[in-house]
Chains A and B, each alone.
Chain A
Amino acid sequence: DTAVSQTPKYLVTQMGNDKSIKCEQNLGHDTMYWYKQDSKKFLKIMFSYNNKELIINETVPNRFSPKSPDKAHLNLHINSLELGDSAVYFCASSQLQGSSTQHFGDGTRLSIL
């Protein structure tokens, strides 16, 4: 059973389109995260939700909008995609907010043409 699963695994789309990435965790964790990993492998946190409430919102363009329908799901919607949005997006979860013990999904590779 996959602990943190995200779909799709690959996403190829054109500039200007709107797309969504879904994430689900079956660990019963209270906190979920979205990270962006660029081509240099730097992992940067984008958002953190605790029990469906937004906790961390780093300097991310407002074209990115996370949505948490329940504490087991955290989806990421991106409007008006730009070339610079090409990256791998990772979803993660942890038992407690801000915890350094996090479980990651396998990522969604987003490529903008």
Chain B
Amino acid sequence: LAKTTQPISMDSYEGQEVNITCSHNNIATNDYITWYQQFPSQGPRFIIQGYKTKVTNEVASLFIPADRKSSTLSLPRVSLSDTAVYYCLVGSLNTNAGKSTFGDGTTLTVKP
């Protein structure tokens, strides 16, 4: 199983871009990188997923270098409502490929 390492916490201010990096040195060929967002009193919510290079959606961008041993979740122009815990998850999309394990999460605090 690919173990992931993320910063425990990060602080930012409204309007700034936030980049959260996750290390996954033992990522397997079939593994994808998935990021989840969790607000207090809610379950984790899927944000973005990628395999290599760059993926962008309406919420975030995900940058994955060629060696895929790390990935960076980029949140553009954060607001107070982006305060949450962000989890990096490395695992396969399909069956019989083991299980996906959540990392310890990064608590992002956005200040006014």
* B91 adjacent to A103 (CB under 8 Å): no
Instruction: Give the contacting residue for A97; candidates B87, B96, B104, B105; CB below 8 A.
Output: B96
Spell out B's residues near A (CB within 8 Å): 31-32, 34, 38, 41-46, 49, 85, 87, 89-102, 104-105, 107
A56 beta carbon closer than 8 Å to chain B: yes
* Residues in chain A near residue B100, CB distance under 8 A: 98-100, 102
* A100 adjacent to B43 (CB under 8 Å): no
How big is chain A's contact interface, by range? 20 to 34
Tell me the complex Cα distance, A43–B107, Å.
14
* A100 adjacent to B41 (CB under 8 Å): no
* B99 adjacent to A48 (CB under 8 Å): yes
The residue among B31, B32, B38, B87 with the most chain A CB atoms within 10 A of its own CB is B38
* Residues in chain B near residue A92, CB distance under 8 A: 43
* CB-based nearest A residue for B49: A101
Instruction: Give the contacting residue for B95; candidates A41, A56, A98, A104; CB below 8 A.
Output: A98
* Residues in chain A near residue B93, CB distance under 8 A: 96, 99-101
Known pairs A98-B92, A98-B98; A41 contacts B107 (CB<8 A): yes
* Residues in chain A near residue B94, CB distance under 8 A: 96, 98-99
* A42 adjacent to B96 (CB under 8 Å): no
B-contacting residues, A14-53, CB 8 Å: 35, 41-45, 48, 50
Known pairs A41-B85, A41-B105, A43-B87; A98 contacts B42 (CB<8 A): no
* B45 adjacent to A107 (CB under 8 Å): no
* CB-based nearest A residue for B105: A41
* A101 adjacent to B85 (CB under 8 Å): no
* CB-based nearest B residue for A31: B95
The residue among B43, B87, B90 with the most chain A CB atoms within 10 A of its own CB is B43
* Residues in chain A near residue B102, CB distance under 8 A: 35, 42-45
